[in-house]
Structure 1
């Protein structure tokens, strides 16, 4: 038995060149980042420019009130993967006692009580300050232009707005003012502006003054003020201070004090305050890594879910190649079972606290866990006993009745154990994780909202970044800012004693999980995907197919995808589907039947629905660069030369 051969044809070519490459989840962000490279900027200048454009053109997937993580390596130190940490913590007043007193059993999935301190903007500015070369005004000019002058809105955004139009009209009037036209969502292709956000960005530039570093035809650089900082770094620090202590912080503090509807079906005021923003700064830290088949895979620490991918790779590394092939029933079964074991450990141990990561990633532990992979699908959540007695799990739910709602949350948590839907169509309707784009409940809760950008330049700088949160349906729009807060706190439990229990000042365990791959001590691949809990599962398929199966990046991205839902979801209402596996129909009837025969509860999701991967690569020996992007949804694009 051999590894399944890669497809003879792909939806798009693998782009190759030697100058610079960009891939992202929206063509305007890709084009903007590539334009920076063409004008002499490096990969970090380009990534920051593209990321701020994503705030404007993918507002249903991310926003400036959200968060990000990135993994990067510099041309000066290509063998050292570094994590950019833009995940804000819980506000000082976000206590379990307060939320319980509000009648809540879970942190809501939407509304200001779900908001962590916004971390994305400060993290991007930190990356630009320390590793970029451009002035802030030049970098932000692309986003300012699209926000002030407009951009054609995509159908995906208008579909999301339409899904929550009633919520906006009845409960979130500021969001209705921002997004609805005569009570309706805009039509695809309509030119949409956001002058309030454009003014916020211009205010950041003005805080330190600006000195244009490239031709001034984009109009993004403000005149140098008398009080401007004397260095580029100083000007960016002035912008960071303005973000943390100026208009943004004051506006958030004032706005969230008014109670508004949350995904729980009840009204609450937020607890985030200006002092919370003033006390947060993004940072950098070493990446967590494992070795796999001659490659070093780099991820965030265990305050994110990234090490779960590392655990799976450690489990799979010594196994025969044919069992690492997701295109066969045997391989898909083994891969899914390994993922379940790693995600069970995520639930038991991962969080913003001391995590026994050395033990979890050790070969000895992986060997013991590997013995648990049997011939049948496990229907249990089985964390390892890494720290005896410490693996306390939160309550497992296959459905959830929220206070203020009349019954189980529609479309979530079914089928349950012992009561499975009869037809694939019923299962797909019951499991919103099968959707390729975010599913929006009537209360505004969404799952799987994120975007992604990868950039590599001719000098060898490379970055993989996953910004998310603060999407337009996460909480009411703050009129003075043109954006809303994120909802990352929904990933913290209100049960005491778990690894990710809500605690002021601690980061909620994030699902954001970009990847950097190194070979022979140099970074060679930047990779990532939107998709919430599925991000690392889909990236795993890419890594197995490229490293073991010999696929090109575009072949790996195009290949049929699958993932398991047999662990508690990170998003409200935190349910799980024991034994659940979601597959693209293109995996094939024989493979799907083989999984069902092994006891997996299968959801068919359509032919092209799972994963929105993108990647860029670099061959240090030749200097050849490449890029590839996901065809699903007809929105992501790669560019380069």
Structure 2
């Protein structure tokens, strides 16, 4: 909890920013300042988000890339009608269970080319810019081009990631070695780093936009076409015919084709919403995990949270048990709603929440309990077997199987992270990015760029970026909501959030963290909306998450009763949670979550906050 001294305001690691002109918060200071620069030059929140997001692709290559995915949730000033852009690319037309079984595979590899889906990020940025922005494509691309061409300080975490996969690059992914291992060595932390091939790709996209003439929307469309129906798509299709090593231990070619890219389009959708704490909470549809957070909130809404102390064992236990129930439903019911019937109407209803609330007891449950929602739920056979094995190990007095890989944290690296949640420097391994922007008119947007990680797929040499490996989230078992099939959206973990009060946007927030994204946002929202903390206090407060769910990433593990908690919760709280039956893993004091947030206060002032965790996120504004 923030330190409180008698008669003094709570101590926070940074001030909550408050102003009137505009606010940007992101997981990298260069992206935040880029967004602020766009606002200073007269751009709106959507222009700023596109420019800042493209910079994130350049400066956090271990966390996202131009070939990745981008879900967007936003609202234009005065409309009161939030929108979602589904920037999650779909699977190739050739992606079937039979195609993988013919290769002798029973899972989609977590790395390489077989897991590649259509890269949705660039098309989504262009769609957001065309629909809601005011700037030309070349202008928003200029900032990212500058950093790719002239260089930027390579984050220590990025340098460490490159060092961990250096042997893979040298032995199997020479195109990645050519970009990231100059002279055969991993770059030093904070060294000036350039990606000339990526700069060239961005410059060609900008040139295509400018060649279309003075019409802004025509230029944006020309850039999109150059990516999905032009030179970028051609290079992606060509590279996918190359066999590269993946996490199966064998080389494989990819399934992605030129036609897969050329036929893909961004989707604008209405968000899914629930009412909580006098607000409307808006998330993406069940092609993302966002509704799981809404399910948690509907259960928590029926509890007397105001009388529960923030950071107490009682609160942590209650939030964790609701998360277990919500994520069990995610794992049993969620998928691409174009291809499966997701019963959200039931899952988000008050009667269903009442039923689920009655399942929460004083002790930690060791069950995966998806609920009956008009039909009986079904978990993958592999998950059922894993749970049975975990229970057998528990009766034998063991909590881990030495023959199974350790559970990693966040989103994937080529190899699983060492046991435990944090690296030696206290930061999570493998992750994502996040970005929130609000302008003085009240336009607001929340975005979670991810995918195309440098450690998960080899660099396409002519383009300077890697492909997304999101198909690893599909199951090859048939008949599941998340089963693999042609042109389907994998059920992503990416989960930006928008909060409205009386129909007016009040808050945009989010965090990297894979399966933990919505879990870390729940304590943040409770701190701010229920307990009255300001944004920075809410971000700084110690946090936690459960691993009692099916990991969305290869190797799809389950850790029954797993609870990872920052030690700042205190020894008494952690001891109480163990007494309740939680398998507690104590993590570093500032190790979980990388939340950022922006919003509009009731008095019309703008405010923002960013996490100190990982030592790179910043908010900017005035």
TM-score, with structure 1 as normaliser:
0.90
Matching residue of 1:217: none
Residues 167, 108 of structure 1: alpha-carbon distance in 2 compared, 3 angstrom cutoff? same
The 1-side partners of 2:108 and 2:95 are apart by 10
Taking the TM superposition and a 5 Å limit, the aligned residue runs for 1:131-170 are 131-170=132-171
- Answer whether contact 1:416 1:577 (CA < 8 A) is retained: no
Matching residue of 1:533: 515
- Answer whether contact 2:433 2:449 (CA < 8 A) is retained: yes
Q: Secondary structure at the match of 1:290?
A: strand
Matching residue of 1:10: 12
Matching residue of 2:599: 617
Q: Secondary structure at the match of 2:86?
A: strand
Q: Is 1:365–2:329 an aligned residue pair?
A: no
Matching residue of 2:366: 379
The 2-side partners of 1:276 and 1:458 are apart by 40
Taking the TM superposition and a 5 Å limit, the aligned residue runs for 1:117-132 are 117-132=118-133
Residues 154, 420 of structure 1: alpha-carbon distance in 2 compared, 3 angstrom cutoff? farther
Residue 415 of structure 1 and its aligned partner are, at CA, apart by 11
Residues 394, 65 of structure 1: alpha-carbon distance in 2 compared, 3 angstrom cutoff? farther
Matching residue of 1:574: 556
The 2-side partners of 1:31 and 1:599 are apart by 45
The 2-side partners of 1:632 and 1:16 are apart by 21
Unmatched 5+ stretches in structure 2? 419-427
Question: Among residues 487, 507, 516, which one is paired with 1:505 in the alignment?
Answer: 487
Matching residue of 1:38: 40
The 1-side partners of 2:81 and 2:429 are apart by 33
Q: Is 1:432–2:416 an aligned residue pair?
A: no
Matching residue of 2:264: 280
Q: Is 1:552–2:534 an aligned residue pair?
A: yes
- Answer whether contact 2:413 2:455 (CA < 8 A) is retained: no
Q: Is 1:251–2:235 an aligned residue pair?
A: yes
The 1-side partners of 2:40 and 2:72 are apart by 23
Q: Secondary structure at the match of 1:516?
A: strand
Residue 518 of structure 1 and its aligned partner are, at CA, apart by 0.4
The 2-side partners of 1:315 and 1:174 are apart by 49
Q: Secondary structure at the match of 1:144?
A: helix
Taking the TM superposition and a 5 Å limit, the aligned residue runs for 1:314-329 are 314-321=298-305, 325=309, 327-329=311-313
Taking the TM superposition and a 5 Å limit, the aligned residue runs for 1:234-633 are 234-321=218-305, 325=309, 327-353=311-337, 354-396=341-383, 417-418=394-395, 430-433=406-409, 441=415, 448-619=430-601, 621-633=602-614
Residues 114, 587 of structure 1: alpha-carbon distance in 2 compared, 3 angstrom cutoff? same
Residue 5 of structure 1 and its aligned partner are, at CA, apart by 8.1
The 2-side partners of 1:597 and 1:319 are apart by 22
Tell me the alpha carbon deviations over residues 541-573 of structure 1, each in whole angstroms, 9 at most, x when there is no partner.
101111111111111111111000001100000
- Answer whether contact 1:584 1:607 (CA < 8 A) is retained: yes
Q: Secondary structure at the match of 1:92?
A: coil
The 1-side partners of 2:394 and 2:245 are apart by 32
Q: Secondary structure at the match of 1:80?
A: coil
The 2-side partners of 1:586 and 1:415 are apart by 33
Residues 152, 602 of structure 1: alpha-carbon distance in 2 compared, 3 angstrom cutoff? same
Q: Secondary structure at the match of 1:347?
A: helix
Tell me the alpha carbon deviations over residues 218-249 of structure 1, each in whole angstroms, 9 at most, x when there is no partner.
xxxxxxx4xx2452011101111111111111
Taking the TM superposition and a 5 Å limit, the aligned residue runs for 1:222-241 are 225=211, 228-241=212-225
The 2-side partners of 1:439 and 1:230 are apart by 43
Residue 417 of structure 1 and its aligned partner are, at CA, apart by 3.5
The 2-side partners of 1:610 and 1:25 are apart by 14
- Answer whether contact 1:394 1:493 (CA < 8 A) is retained: no
The 2-side partners of 1:115 and 1:305 are apart by 20
- Answer whether contact 1:560 1:584 (CA < 8 A) is retained: yes
Give the length in aligned residue pairs. 602
The 2-side partners of 1:276 and 1:631 are apart by 40
The 1-side partners of 2:308 and 2:95 are apart by 43
The 2-side partners of 1:18 and 1:183 are apart by 49
- Answer whether contact 1:263 1:443 (CA < 8 A) is retained: no
Residues 397, 35 of structure 1: alpha-carbon distance in 2 compared, 3 angstrom cutoff? farther
Residues 294, 345 of structure 1: alpha-carbon distance in 2 compared, 3 angstrom cutoff? same
Residues 398, 602 of structure 1: alpha-carbon distance in 2 compared, 3 angstrom cutoff? farther
Tell me the alpha carbon deviations over residues 6-64 of structure 1, each in whole angstroms, 9 at most, x when there is no partner.
98200000000000000000000001110000111000000000000001100000001
- Answer whether contact 2:407 2:416 (CA < 8 A) is retained: no
Residue 323 of structure 1 and its aligned partner are, at CA, apart by 6.9
Residues 398, 547 of structure 1: alpha-carbon distance in 2 compared, 3 angstrom cutoff? farther
Residue 431 of structure 1 and its aligned partner are, at CA, apart by 3.9
Q: Secondary structure at the match of 1:563?
A: strand
| RMSD between superposed Cα atoms in Å | 2.4
Residues 514, 521 of structure 1: alpha-carbon distance in 2 compared, 3 angstrom cutoff? same
The 2-side partners of 1:167 and 1:386 are apart by 45
Unmatched 5+ stretches in structure 1? 210-224, 401-407
Tell me the alpha carbon deviations over residues 279-298 of structure 1, each in whole angstroms, 9 at most, x when there is no partner.
10112100000000101000
Q: Is 1:171–2:158 an aligned residue pair?
A: no
The 2-side partners of 1:293 and 1:314 are apart by 10
- Answer whether contact 1:399 1:416 (CA < 8 A) is retained: no
Residues 628, 277 of structure 1: alpha-carbon distance in 2 compared, 3 angstrom cutoff? same
The 2-side partners of 1:91 and 1:417 are apart by 41
Matching residue of 2:54: 52
Q: Is 1:92–2:68 an aligned residue pair?
A: no
The 2-side partners of 1:582 and 1:459 are apart by 40
After TM superposition, the structure 1 stretch with the greater mean CA deviation from structure 2, 387-396 or 13-22, is 387-396
Residues 67, 181 of structure 1: alpha-carbon distance in 2 compared, 3 angstrom cutoff? same
The 1-side partners of 2:396 and 2:308 are apart by 32
Residue 447 of structure 1 and its aligned partner are, at CA, apart by 6.8
The 1-side partners of 2:235 and 2:556 are apart by 31
Q: Secondary structure at the match of 2:162?
A: helix
After TM superposition, the structure 1 stretch with the greater mean CA deviation from structure 2, 181-190 or 488-497, is 181-190
